[in-house]
Homo-oligomer: A and B are copies of this chain.
Amino acid sequence: MTESLFKIQHTDVPLSYYTGLLGMPGMTDYADFYELCSPKKGEYVLVSSAFGAVGQLVGQLAKLMGCYVVGSAESKEKIDILKSKFGFDEAFNYKEEHDLDAALKRCFPEGIDICFDNVGGKMLDAVLLNMRFHSRIAVAGMISEYNLDQPEGIRNLLSLVYKRIRIEGFTVYDYYHLFPNFLDLVLPYIREGKIAYVEDTAEGLKNGPSALVGIFSGQNVGKQAVVVARE
């Protein structure tokens, strides 16, 4: 797909950013959030899997727009970083919540306007119970489902009718034509320190295999990059 090949013009930011924040995951955030979710100032935004390479940016873009933003992640360390470094208003560790519906009601007493979902499964089912009228769910992935023999059933879709919710699936491949707009928006924010980014960098090809294995046990913090050589 030639549209996804491009020459990097801006080398004043770390090159590795182009594998994450400024690459496919970042573009996914950007296009998904602005094109599908139609965010408005003051809206309530949930980012599930907020610490993933796709999830990191969207919460910060939503904050920059004046939204109230809550993220979920799977460790205390990541929750802390979401709030302290990325400026999320609230964050919760979904592994420690016995009742996801109750966790969402605690974080969103007014309900959710936009859910940027990368998880699916039980999280999506709880989300459906907490969406507001005319709210939007952008589905960029369903990581809770990929390794199951049979996907979990989603039982609360009737909320779609009662609350006129829109769910839309999304892949970045439809939006590469927006890549220049994306860089125009995000590069200045990075240079001004308004958007933070956390990635895990392994040095040298010999450390690649262990970095790969680490992804599947959740050892990485943010996008896992392997630096083959530094010029």
Chain A contacts to B: CB under 8 angstroms: 120, 124, 139-142, 145, 150-171, 174
Can you pick out 17 interface pairs between chain A and chain B where the beta carbons lie within 8 Å of each other?
Answer: A120-B158, A150-B155, A151-B155, A153-B154, A153-B155, A154-B155, A157-B167, A161-B169, A161-B171, A162-B169, A162-B171, A165-B169, A166-B166, A166-B167, A166-B169, A167-B167, A167-B168
What is the oligomeric copy number?
A: 2
A139 to B137, CA, bound (A): 15
A153 to B145, CA, bound (A): 14
Residues on B with C-beta less than 8 A from A142 are 157-158, 161
Which 5 A-B pairs rank lowest in CB-CB distance, beginning with the nearest? A153-B153, A160-B169, A161-B169, A166-B168, A151-B155
Residues on B with C-beta less than 8 A from A158 are 120, 142, 145, 151
Chain A's interface: helix, strand, loop or mixed, by majority?
A: loop
CB atoms of A171 and B164 under 8 A apart = yes
Residues on B with C-beta less than 8 A from A159 are 169
A151 to B128, CA, bound (A): 13
Closest B residue to A154 using CB positions: B154
CB atoms of B161 and A141 under 8 A apart = yes
Query: Given A153-B154, A155-B150, A155-B152, does the pair A168, B174 have CB atoms closer than 8 Å?
Result: no
Residues on B with C-beta less than 8 A from A174 are 164
